[in-house]
Amino acid sequence: MAYSEEDGTVEEKENNNKKKTKSALATAWLTFYNIAMTAGWLVLAMAMMRFYIQKGTRKGLYRSIARTLKFFQTFALVEVGHCAIGIVRTSVIVTGVQVCSRIFMVWFITNSIRQIQNEESVILFLVVWTITEITRYSYYTFNLLHHLPYFIKWARYNLFIVLYPLGVAGELLTIYAALPFVRRSGMYSMRLPNKYNVSFDYYYCLIIAMLSYIP
């Protein structure tokens, strides 16, 4: 079968059009996703401020925002998918570890142990997460729209210097506060003998988690 240069050009154009379509769809989805996540964390920020203004105390603040926090933090698992299918060029492993560590902090520590929910450290990491995520998702949104305000770019690369150590401190202090309750209750632990012949101690798991923060 004869194959002309013109045929090759047409095929190349079709492939380029398909790539452009996929790229446009990916950009549209990422823009929508980042707008939604920015809005979600803004809702959390306003809810926290409103609670504190009305109540004048941190007690009960976590419970008041728990459902919204769990939804948006868990929904961030989508970002692992973005990396896996290649629409975001970031390591799947790095993104997975970052997202899953947050989910672990929310679901398996703070949400599971009511006795620590009013700790100052919980409020600390919540405030840090909220500022970080509003900045991060708004940065991605404006970047995708090719209209990045200077103050958003500045905040993205400068607030990190202060927020990162504060966030780490809040998370570590929260895990530390959880240790006595975990040890007494034996939650999420498996003792021998059992039908699976497996032993697991959640208390030591949390200690290992704390050690993993060491650079």
Catalytic residues, by residue number, are: 164, 171
Q: At 30, phi and psi to the nearest 5?
A: -65, -35
Q: Which amino acid is at 116?
A: I
CA distance 33 to 140: 10
List all residues 6 or more positions away from 104 whose beta carbon is below 8 Å from its beta carbon: 209
